[in-house]
Amino acid sequence: SAAILGTTYRYTLLQGHESHFYICITIKIYIAIAIATLIAKGNILEKLMISPVV
């Protein structure tokens, strides 16, 4: 029983660590997408601003 508890505890810790790791990666991906979108929108806005002048 103690061995089962120990294994379960270790497995839970491992799962928790893995999920935390994946959450961090997901957040970084979302931030990267958000930044890329903002840059893309900025470039589109610049082109829209410049095109009427040209």
pLDDT tens digits, one per residue of 2-48: 787 777 777 777 777 777 788 888 999 999 999 999 888 888 777 77
What is the pLDDT confidence band of residue 52, given thresholds at 50, 70 and 90? low
Residue 13 lies in a domain: no
Residue 3 lies in a domain: no
Q: Which domain holds residue 42?
A: 18-54
Residue 22 lies in a domain: yes
| Distance separating alpha carbons of residues 33 and 29, to the nearest angstrom | 6
- How many domains are contained in the chain? 1
What do you get for the CA distance between the two ends of the chain, in Å?
78
pTM of the model as a whole: 0.51
Residue 37 lies in a domain: yes
Residue 30 lies in a domain: yes
How big is the CA angle at 32 (ends 24 and 20), to the nearest 5 degrees? 5
Residue 6 lies in a domain: no
